[in-house]
A and B are shown apart, each in its own frame.
Chain A
Amino acid sequence: MTRDLRHRRIPIALSGALLFAMAGPATWGAETNTIIVKNFMFSPMSLTVPVGATVTWKNLDGEPHTVVNDQGLFRSGGLDQNDSFSFKFDSPGTYRFICSIHPTMMGTIVVK
């Protein structure tokens, strides 16, 4: 019985891994316009979206982070664990952002 179960599990686990590999974090983020903040990093670090798209940042770290544009276009408040911040991009361009508390964390939104 145990052996059978194990045999059944392997193909399921494999297909799960394949799915994950095909839809890695960068592709997934691009499709949903979501940037995950985890382990003191923005992921993906660079995201390309069409004009009019809304991008959402979600912090999964126990330490708060912020999302601050270096040109002052957008600035989140302190995002505690599981808090989100969204911004709608109405004009084409390249928008850099950092966490103002941990400025080594940086990323870019490209709006086309």
Chain B
Amino acid sequence: MSSESINPTRRGALKCLAAGSAGTLFALSGGVFTPINLAMAAAGDYRVANAGTPLFVQISDSHIGFKADANPDVSGTVKRTIDLVNNLPDRPAFIVHTGDITHLSKPEEFDLAAQLFSSLKATELHAVPGEHDVIDGPGKEYFARFGRLSDNRGYYSFDHNGVHFVALVNVMNFKANGLGALGDDQLAWLENDLHARSSSTPIAVFAHMPLWSVYEPWGWGTGDADRAMASLRRFGSVTVMNGHIHQIVQKIEGNITFHTARSMAYPQPTGGNGPGPGPLKVSPDLLPKMLGVTSVKVARSPGMFALDDISLA
């Protein structure tokens, strides 16, 4: 297991940010910062080792049922990921799976996923669907298993340790341009959910597809995410976490940090590099370096998040 901590690469990351005129940071390696972490890192006096209270671990894109040559043993890498999470020095309070639990939404894939994830040493497993989990349209198998917390809407919120968590669904109503969509009902629900909360409440949002445009020709974005961001912008600390693209990409915009996590199954090419966003076959020794999870801590004050990407090797 290797943890890409913040310190060794902070200057590189800062340089990337400074050079990132397009506004998107393609973080090939390195930890992830909140805006305040960045400022402290830039000042050179920030130590990440005790960045805060362990909050949760984000896992993503397990694609149970995938068996092509980009990873013939997905169950194996998922088990390694579970071992990694179970052996973290700081035990997370819960796990968030940001979708594509299965590859083809088949009942037997969901059953195998449930069997594998039951060995996670965590009290709760939260989830949002990926498009691979709702291939049938209404997502019958997904909602039969994960619909309870959200009254079968898929989107819901909860509070933990002073942090407000929001789970969103953006894979049910694709637009013709291929982008994900939240839809008017969910956006109205979100606005209402956030309305009564103090701006000082740290907010963690998760969804499957990126809630900002990573690469639109491949549909790596959410068409109506701007309206969601409008209701999130007043909060002092917002972290938005996604999967879908099987690689780490990060962007910071004001108080909002956007971050995508690695897959547990197989990597994908960077946006536009190849005919489409399909599985990327890499050498067997490279594969575990491109799979992993994101560990999230929250600092005691001022409630800022610290994200740490950990790969399988």
Beta-carbon contacts under 8 Å, A15-71 to B: 39-41, 61-64, 66
> How far does the alpha carbon of A77 sit from the alpha carbon of B68 in the complex, in Å?
18
Contacts of B174 in A (CB 8 A): 100-101, 103
CB closest residue in chain A, given B105: A78
Q: Chain A nearest CB: distance from B265 CB in Å? A: 12
> How far does the alpha carbon of A103 sit from the alpha carbon of B180 in the complex, in Å?
10
CB closest residue in chain A, given B135: A78
Residue B104 interfacial (CB < 8 Å): yes
> How far does the alpha carbon of A81 sit from the alpha carbon of B72 in the complex, in Å?
14
Which of B69, B70, B103, B177 interacts with A64 by CB under 8 Å? B103
> How far does the alpha carbon of A75 sit from the alpha carbon of B134 in the complex, in Å?
13
Residue A88 interfacial (CB < 8 Å): no
Interface residue tally of chain A, by bracket? Answer: 20 to 34
> How far does the alpha carbon of A63 sit from the alpha carbon of B281 in the complex, in Å?
12
Contacts of B136 in A (CB 8 A): 77
Say yes or no: A40-B278 contact (C-beta < 8 A), given A62-B68, A64-B104, A104-B219.
yes
B278 and A78 within 8 A (CB)? no
Residue B76 interfacial (CB < 8 Å): no
Which of B68, B177, B278 interacts with A104 by CB under 8 Å? B177
Say yes or no: A40-B175 contact (C-beta < 8 A), given A64-B104, A100-B135.
no
User: A: which residues have CB within 8 A of B?
Assistant: 39-41, 61-64, 66, 75, 77-78, 80-81, 98, 100-104, 106
Name 8 extra pairs, CB < 8 A, besides A62-B279, A102-B219.
A40-B276, A40-B277, A62-B70, A66-B135, A77-B135, A78-B104, A78-B132, A102-B277
